[in-house]
Each structure stands twice: as C-alpha cells, then as structure tokens.
Structure 1
Amino acid sequence: MVGAVIATCVFSGLNVAAPKYLGDATDVVVAGVLRVGLDEGRLGLLLVLVASMYILASLFNWVQGVLTARSVQGLMHGLRGALEEKLHRLPSTYFQGTSRGDVLSRATNDVDNIAQALNQLLTQLIMSVLMLSGSLAMMLWISPLLAVIALATVPVSTLITVLVTRRSQANYARQWKETGELNSHVEEFVTGHEVIKAFGQQGRAAGVFARSNDRLEWAAARAQFSAGMVQPLMALVSNLNYIAVAVVGAFQVMAGAMTIGGIQAFIQFSRLFTQPVGQIGGMLSLIQSCVASAARVFALLDAGEDPGERQGDEAVPADGRIVFEDVTFAYAGAGPAVANLSFTAEPGQSVAIVGHTGAGKSTVVNLLLRFCEPDSGRITLGGVELGAIARDRLRARFGVVLQDTWLFGGTIRDNIAYGNPEAPEEAIMAAAEASHVDRFVRSLPDGYATVLENGGDPLSEGQRQLISIARAQLARRDILVLDEATSSVDSRTELLIRQAMERLLRGRTSLVIAHRLSTVRNADLILVMDHGRIVEQGTHQGLLAANGYYTRLYNAQFTSRKDRAVALEAGS
C-alpha cells in the first residue's frame, strides 16, 4: 500500500507539472511566429520533456493500479478469513435468528462491494487531493484572478455533494439489505424445492421472489439515481467554470497580462482542478455504498459470541462420567427448553432420553456438546465443568449421529472417513459393513467413489443416515450421542443397526435420544421427559411396571402399530 501511495504521488506530480511545460512550448511557438524565428532546440527539449513526463505518469499509474489491487485483495483475503473464523465462534442461537442467505450475502456480496469500492477509492482519493492542491498552486502562480474565479465553483460543488450524499447513504443501506433478503429467498427455494413442488406452490414462491426482486430493483435504482446525480451536476459546474475562465483569460491576454501559453496552461490546470472535485463527489457515493456493506460485515464480526467460547484451559478428563446438576436453559424469546434438569450417566452406561416432540430431548444434546450454554446449573464431565474445557477438545471425545444428517460434497468413502481421515481402508470398510452401508454402496456404479452433492444426492434419507452412523463408528470416540439415529430407516434396517450399535456402545458412555421406544429397551437408564423436565426414570421393565407416563407412550406407539397392521391385513 505504501508503494501504491508513492506511485500515486509521482503520477499526480507529473500530471500537474506537464501542462506548465506544454504552455512554455506554446509560448516558444508564438514567439517564433511573431519574431519570425523559432527556437527549435528549446521547443524540441520542452516537447520531449512533456512527452517523457506523460509516459512516466502512465507507467506509475499502472504500477499504482497493480499494487492497489494486490493490497485490496490481500485485505479482502484477511476479511474473508476473519468472517470464516467468526462463523465457527458464533453460537447456534445466532443462526436460528438469522437467515443463511443473509449471512452468505454479507460474506460474499458485501465483501465484494467493499473490494470494488476500495480498489477505486484508496489511491484515487489521494490522487484527486494531490491533483486538486497541485493544480490550485499552479493556477495561483499563473493568475491569481483566474484562480479566484475557479475557486468560486468549490462551494457549489460541496453543496451538491453534501445534499446528494445524504440521500444516497440511506438508499445504499436499503439496497444491500434487500440483496440479503433476496439471497435468503433463493436459498430457501433451492433447499425446499421438492416441498414447493409437492404442494404446488411454485406460483406462490415465484410471487415471493418477484416482490423481493421488485423491492431490490427499486432500492438499487434509487441508490444509483441519487449517486448518479453527482457527475452530471459536477460536469455542469465544471463547464460553467471553463466558460468563465476562457472569457476572462482572453481579456487578460488582450490586455497583455498573460501569454497565450499561460492561458492555455491555466485552462488545463482548471480542468485538472475541477476534475478531482467531480471525482471526489462521485467517490462519496462509492464511500456510502462501501460504508453500508462494511456496516453489515462488521455487524457480523461484532456479533456476540458464546460467553465460554474462549474458555478452556482444563484438560479433558479421561473419566466419562456425565452429570447434569439442576440445569435450566431457554432459547431466545421462548420459555425454558429444560428446567431444573438433573441426572447422571456413569462411564460405560447407556442412557436413553424419550418423550414427546418438544419435550427438550435435543436440547440436552446441544448443552452437552456446548452448542449452547446453560442459564443456570452446571454440567460436568469427569468432575470438570464443561465451560472449563475448550470446545474442540471436548467435542473430540464425542461421536455424534444427529437427526438431521449432514453429508458434504465428496465421495461416500470420504464422508465415512470424515471423523477419522487417517483411518486405513480396512477400518473404513469394517465400519461400512457394520452399519450396513456396504450392501447398498456395492450396487452403485461407482461404489465408494460415488460423489455426493447437495447434502447427499442421489442417496435416500435412510441411506444418508446409515453413512452418518458409519462415520460415528469409524471415529471410535469414548462417548456416543445418538439423536434419533434410526428415525429414517425401515424396521428391518433399524434392527440391524441396533445390533451393530449394541456392539459399538459396549464399554462406552452413551446418550440415545429416540422416538421409537423399541430402540431403547436395553438401555441401562431411561429418562422420560415432558416440558423440559424429567418425569420418570428407570429401566424399560421398571418403567412399564410403574404404569405411568412411559407406559402410556409405549402403549400409544405399539397400539398404533398393531392397528396399522390390522388395517393392512384387512385391506389385503
């Protein structure tokens, strides 16, 4: 950046000095005509000097352009890196209250807008100031009277710039806000295109997009219109100034107060003077657009992080004992998701958590993995409070299979090995066979080299979940968290997975969240939750014998299955 500024200063200095020598060359020609004798040597020297100055100015202009581009792109590289790191430090609750499309717009569109603005602003602003001050000094040297006439345009230009800037700032902020909302709609349509088509809502989706697109068009048009007013108005002021300088300068020449070369040089300097004034006015609209985007980017960078995100000096204990002590937590704007929750999972014990949808089961997982922090109470692992353990080190102890499967763009083999990239091929194949992934992968044309796209296409939801289970098996973590791990598989596959999981869970602490109560019969401890509280706990047989809430859940689930079986039999 220092090199770009130096190159800009040299370029501006050469551009300011050249008109003076060109005016001297004009005076040599005029003197030669009037005296019938041309000083060819001096004329040639002046012309070569002027040509050399313009050539050097072009060279330094190119140098500053290259250095500015490198500086700005380096700056944007760092800014994008800071955004990427920030996204990892943000709490899960941030993404629940912010659309993904808007976040993507801030990280891409707004950053690109800042880069484009800085490319034009950083050196051009310096160049304009130098050209403005340099040409003013030369005009005062040549003719103070004409310099005063030229300066008369400055207050007018300033007033125009201030008035236009006030209007354009709000319009640019609205434009980039509407851009983020439009991206949010596009992201929703792409993610939910199957649902949109299944319910025949293409017209409604198109209407939502059209309205958002109309708002963006109107906001962008107003921003561009208000910003576009600067250049024409500045050009008008510049042309009026040019007329005044030319007329008064002609009278000065006729009176013998100036030479023809002097008035020629002055007119060039007046152009050099008014041009930066107009450029600065135009740059202010760029600044407004840049500021609007920067405000959105820095709002993301300044977003609140988890209170314990930067904590974590304690080592991860080898003991796998998990204890929830009177834990209460509520999501923003909602009632408590869990309230006064207390339980203990001993090392090697399998703990199942069951209950109706919304009972708080998945919140237990979020708290355990520190996706969110408890409002009160404490959670310990091996006697150490989770907030004292760094998140990355804590999560390295857990093998996780979530209800919402996530597969990245890559091969099936790479997705299985995601939690253990250094695993040998034999271990990957063993995990795939144990999770019954192998039986459907072998039928694919490219087998384990099949490339997955869009979160797992072309596989079914059940097949994606099997791959997630294989990934957890291969990771071989001490503590396992299974959140509805069998929710998307058929009954036969569920049985096979349960058998594989029983082998996998042997000797490990595990938390199993399930709607299907058939998957938790063999758990060492079953916690029954309702409205964020544990209402019953015990073993499967003990809870059935108590004939309470768990029994009602069990009977409702299996009675409905029997009714379906009877209906199917009657229909056949």
Structure 2
Amino acid sequence: MKNKNTLIRLMRFISPYKSYLIFALIFSAINIVFTLMTPVLIGRAIDTMIGKGKVNFSYLSIRIVQIIITVILAAITNYLVGRFSSKMTFEITKDLRDQLFAKYHALPLKYIDSHSHGDLMSRMIADIDLISDGLLQGFTNLFAGVATIIGTIGFMLAINIKIALIVIILTPISLIVSSQIATRVYKYFQEQLAIRGELSGYVEEMIGNQKVVKAFSHEEVNKAAFDEINQRLFVSGVKSQFLGALVNPSTRFVNAIVYAAVTIFGAFTVLNGGITVGALSSFLTYANQYTKPFNDISNVFTELETALACADRVFKIIDEDEIVEPRNASTIEHPQGDIKIDSLQFSYVPEKPLIEDFHLDVKAGQTIAIVGPTGCGKTTLINLLMRFYEPLKGTITIDGINIQDMDRHYMRSLYGMVLQDTWLFKGSIKDNIAYGSTNPTDEQIIQAAKNAHAHKFIMQLKDGYDALLQEEGSNLSQGQRQLLCIARIMLADPPMLILDEATSSIDTRTERQIQSAFDEMMKGRTTFIVAHRLSTIEKADKIIVMNDGHILEQGTHQELLAQHGFYHKLYYSQFDTATNS
C-alpha cells in the first residue's frame, strides 16, 4: 500500500506533461507496428528464394524496399519516442528538484540543523536521478514491452496457432519469477539509500573540515569511521544488487527454453508442410522479440523498486511541516526599533532549559551589547530575535507588534546581520556585496566597500570588483571575506543591526577603522552586538550580561564596572596586565 501511494503521488507530477506522454505512447505503438512487420516481410522474402533457379527477383525487390521503408520508419518513430519521453522525464525531474529545494527554504532552521547536510544533498541529487532513471524513463519501456507482447502474440497466432500457444503458455513464467524477486528487493534498496545518505553526510563533513582533521592528525580515525559506514553500504549493496541481478538471468533462462521449444516444434512443422521456412524464420524472430519485453519488464520492476524507495525519501521531506506565515501579516510603516522581550522561554532540548523568564526592554536607537561566557545563550537570543527558532513561551515585539504576527521575510528585512562565520557564494565580488540589496548601482557598491575598508584589497585583485570568488570565497583570507560581508550590510542599510562577533577575524588596526564606520552606521539604529572582546563594546548604551540563559547584570560599561560583579571579573580577566601594572 505504501508503494502504491508513493507511485500515485509520482504519477501526479506527470499530469502537466501528459501531452508528451501521449505522443510518446502513440509513436511507441507505431514503432512497434513497423518493428513487428519487418519479420513478416523478411520471411516472405526468404520464401521467394527457396529452390535453385526459383528466385522471384521482382517480388524479392519489392520485399527489400518494403523492409528498408519499415526499418527507417521504425528508427524515426523510436527517435521520437525517446525525444518525448526524455522531455517529459527532464521536466518532471526539474519540478521535483524545484519543489524539494523550495521545501528546504520553507523548513524551520531546526530541521536543517538536526539533519545531515550531506543526506539532504543526496536526496536532492542522487535520489531524484534514480527516480528519473528508474520510474519515469521506464514508463514508456513498460508500455512498449506490453504492446510488443500483445502485437507479437497477434502475429504469431496469424502464422501458426499451435506454435504460438507454446510461446504464450511458457513465457509468463519469467514474469512470475521476476515479480517474486522484485517484491523482496525494496527493503534492501531503502536500506542502501539511507546508508548512502549517511556516507554522503560524513564525506561532506570531513572534506569541508580537512584543516581541522589534519591539525589533529585524525586521518586514520576518520578513515576507520568511513570504512565502517562504507562496509555497511557494501553489505547492503551486495544484497540488493544480488537480488536485483537475479531477475535478468532467471528470465533469460526461461526465455531460452521457450526459444528452443519453438525451434524444435517449428522444424517438425516445416517438415510436415505445416508452415514454410520463411514463416518459421519469422516465427523464431517473433519468439525472440516476444521474450525480450519480459526481460525489459523485469528490469523495470527492479528499477521501479529503487525509484519508489528514492521517492519515499524525497516525499518524507516534502511532507514535513513547514513554517506557516500569518494570513494578515502585520507591518511597520516607519520602523523605529523599539524592542521588548517579555517572559521569554526557550530550549533546544526539552529536558535542558536554556533561556527562562527572560525580560529586556530596548529603546529605539540604543546599542545593546550582549556578553557572557560560552554557552550562556547569546547566539540563541539572536536566533530568537531573527525567528530562526521560535520561543516556547513569551513574546518579542518590535514597535509594539509581536514578531510572530509578521511575515518572516519582512521581519528579517528590518535587520542587517553580520555573523562571525562568513558566507560568500561563487560569483563576482560585486554580486556578493549586492546580495540582499535591490538593483544597487556600481557607485553604491563601491561606496559600501570603502566604508567597510574593503575597497583597497579589492582593487589590488586582477579584475577588481568583477573578480570571481571560489566557493565559500576560499580564494580570499578570512579577514577579507568578513570585510565583504560587512560591506554587504552597509549597502543594504537596514533600520536595525545585529553584529555577532562581526570583527573577530580582522586585525586590530582594521577593526578600529571599521569600528568608526560601524559607529556611523549605528547612529539612530537599534543595534545588538555580541562580543567576546569587551573592549569593543565600551560605548554601548546598555550591556546585557548573560549566564545560563538569564540576565545577571545590565547597565553601561562604567556602571557595571562600579558594581564589581560578574562583568567586572569578566572584563578584567581580559586585561590581566592592566590590573597588575
């Protein structure tokens, strides 16, 4: 039943392209007619050459011309079948990928964070390719096989009923054998696909972090872990491929018996004058053509099980609950940046509370610094402000409007965010800076780069702003990548800012230069700064000191130092030399 439901869902993707399917089936039927006519014409041509000096050349010439015409028409229609079926396949594959990619964007960040990225990529690429190869391309093959069987039976019955009955009675045995094997293959293919996704995730993780692996000399340990996953994939693959490989030789064995029976019985029939030699030649060709579709159909069954297993993995993601936006989403006509957090409660794992009963009132234009030890909830608070995660309880409002009443895209457009981890895509420097802005001019892009102190190093590159970045901007230093991300935000010019360790990868001299640009950009804007280097947040209007998801202290830099509390210890722990002097 599960396979049936998955198959029905896949068939729905064909509906927009049913015209391609109809044309493919029509030309497939025509192709079969011409293909089946050829053995009859060959048999009749043979009958014109039986006996010395009894060759009817004029009749033979007609048959040869007819054979050439049917072969050419069969080739043309076969090309058209491939053209229409391929067009349908590529369109449906594109739709599947479009829907899955859109789903990835609609899923909560929690889902993406909790699943292997390599496995998600495997479903997008490898699994959908297998759906295409196994199901969609096999669909016309299945129709052609069934039509060929029906057509061949008709031609064989017209030639000789007794020999035709031998073929008809024996051949279905191969179909029974193949279907029995196919029903046992599905679970092994599902297991194989799951392990393949796990392997893809592990390889993606290790390749992306080779510097860390080599720094800790962890190559052998990682290789052992890879070998363990690879061995499980090997065992699962052997089982599934062995069962799948049994189908073809099993059906071929049955078909060989059928062909031998037809040859022997047909030879005696010719000797008894029941049919001509040409007719027997035609019959043997038909017997061979008749068994071939059963082989093709048996292969389709195996590929179908693979396709359904892949489709099931794809549909599991498509069926995941996605983020639902409010119907009548609220907007702010003139965003000021008054933010209020009331009774906020959140945890990644239910049994481990992280943020509890959190309250914060931020006035428009204030700069709020969030400090505290690692794991205290600083980044989590930013995730909640940006609605990357949803709170379990409590509310966050912007200018008095609950952010859960806003559309996420609109709400996030109110913030400009610079993270510690940079993200650049493969493309020009100009396109990377313009990411997130609507049709900026070259002058605006250059000015943003100048404000971020990135212009100088950009102009030192061979192609300047048109220089192409490699994936993740790997042909730039970490500090240069960060400068481009800062330029991107300066160009976007949002009403509020979030700076999460934004200058952590930049040298002290450049940081001071950028800080002046930040100071200018932050004027009149509500800004949240997450920082470990406390010297960078001394000018903040309010410093929030967090620990274990709670606010321990809050106030200005001088007020917190005067309290001689947690912030005082945290601050001077970074300046031991200053306190000792």
Going from structure 1 to structure 2, the CA distance change for 1:279 and 1:465 (only over 3 Å counts) comes to same
Determine helix, strand or coil for the equivalent of 1:489: coil
After superposing the two structures, state which structure 1 stretch, 7-16 or 18-27, moved more.
Answer: 18-27
Q: Is the 8 A contact 2:27 2:78 kept in 1?
A: yes
Q: How does 1:388-537 map to 2 (within 5 A)?
A: 388-420=405-437, 422-441=439-458, 444=461, 447-537=464-554
* Displacement of 1:42: 4.7
Task: Tell me the distance in 2 between the aligned counterparts of 1:435 and 1:396.
Answer: 20
CA RMSD across the alignment: 2.7
* Displacement of 1:313: 3.0
In structure 1, which of residues 351, 356, 364 is the aligned counterpart of residue 381 of structure 2? 364
Task: Tell me the distance in 2 between the aligned counterparts of 1:291 and 1:69.
Answer: 19
1:266-306 C-alpha deviation (Å, 9 max, x unpaired): 32222222111111111211112222222222223223322
In structure 1, which of residues 291, 302, 315 is the aligned counterpart of residue 331 of structure 2? 315
Q: How does 1:295-334 map to 2 (within 5 A)?
A: 295-306=312-323, 308-309=324-325, 313-319=329-335, 320-332=337-349
Match of 1:198 in 2: 215
Match of 1:285 in 2: 302
Match of 1:3 in 2: 23
1:444-487 C-alpha deviation (Å, 9 max, x unpaired): 55554443324233433233223222221121110111111122
Task: Tell me the distance in 2 between the aligned counterparts of 1:324 and 1:500.
Answer: 29
Match of 1:570 in 2: none
Task: Tell me the distance in 2 between the aligned counterparts of 1:495 and 1:55.
Answer: 77
Partner amino acid for 1:74? E
* Displacement of 1:55: 1.9
Partner amino acid for 1:296? R
Match of 2:36 in 1: 16
* Displacement of 1:27: 4.4
Q: Is the 8 A contact 1:316 1:394 kept in 2?
A: no
Partner amino acid for 2:389? C
Partner amino acid for 1:476? D
Partner amino acid for 1:386? I
Partner amino acid for 2:132? A
* Displacement of 1:18: 3.2
Task: Tell me the distance in 1 between the aligned counterparts of 2:177 and 2:531.
Answer: 67
Task: Tell me the distance in 2 between the aligned counterparts of 1:352 and 1:422.
Answer: 33
In structure 2, which of residues 367, 376, 392 is the aligned counterpart of residue 375 of structure 1? 392
After superposing the two structures, state which structure 1 stretch, 542-551 or 364-373, moved more.
Answer: 542-551
Partner amino acid for 2:154? A
Match of 2:13 in 1: none
Going from structure 1 to structure 2, the CA distance change for 1:61 and 1:310 (only over 3 Å counts) comes to farther
Q: Is the 8 A contact 2:346 2:354 kept in 1?
A: yes
After superposing the two structures, state which structure 1 stretch, 13-22 or 224-233, moved more.
Answer: 13-22
Match of 2:6 in 1: none
Partner amino acid for 1:315? T
Task: Tell me the distance in 2 between the aligned counterparts of 1:494 and 1:352.
Answer: 17
Q: Is the 8 A contact 2:343 2:358 kept in 1?
A: yes
* Displacement of 1:63: 1.1
Q: How does 1:135-146 map to 2 (within 5 A)?
A: 135-146=152-163
* Displacement of 1:8: 0.6
Determine helix, strand or coil for the equivalent of 1:152: helix
* Displacement of 1:366: 1.4
Q: Is the 8 A contact 1:164 1:227 kept in 2?
A: yes
Q: Is the 8 A contact 1:352 1:512 kept in 2?
A: yes
Which runs of no fewer than 5 residues in structure 2 stay unpaired? 1-19
Match of 1:247 in 2: 264
Match of 2:282 in 1: 265
* Displacement of 1:37: 6.0
After superposing the two structures, state which structure 1 stretch, 462-471 or 93-102, moved more.
Answer: 462-471
Partner amino acid for 1:168? V
Task: Tell me the distance in 2 between the aligned counterparts of 1:19 and 1:334.
Answer: 75
Q: Is the 8 A contact 1:317 1:384 kept in 2?
A: no
1:464-522 C-alpha deviation (Å, 9 max, x unpaired): 22322222112111011111112223444433333322211111111112222222222
Partner amino acid for 2:23? G
Partner amino acid for 2:339? I
Q: Is the 8 A contact 2:384 2:391 kept in 1?
A: yes
Q: How does 1:133-282 map to 2 (within 5 A)?
A: 133-282=150-299
TM-score when normalising by structure 2: 0.88
Partner amino acid for 1:113? L
Going from structure 1 to structure 2, the CA distance change for 1:507 and 1:153 (only over 3 Å counts) comes to same
Match of 2:97 in 1: 80
Q: Is the 8 A contact 2:24 2:85 kept in 1?
A: yes
Which runs of no fewer than 5 residues in structure 1 stay unpaired? 567-572
Task: Tell me the distance in 1 between the aligned counterparts of 2:434 and 2:343.
Answer: 37
In structure 2, which of residues 545, 563, 570 is the aligned counterpart of residue 546 of structure 1? 563
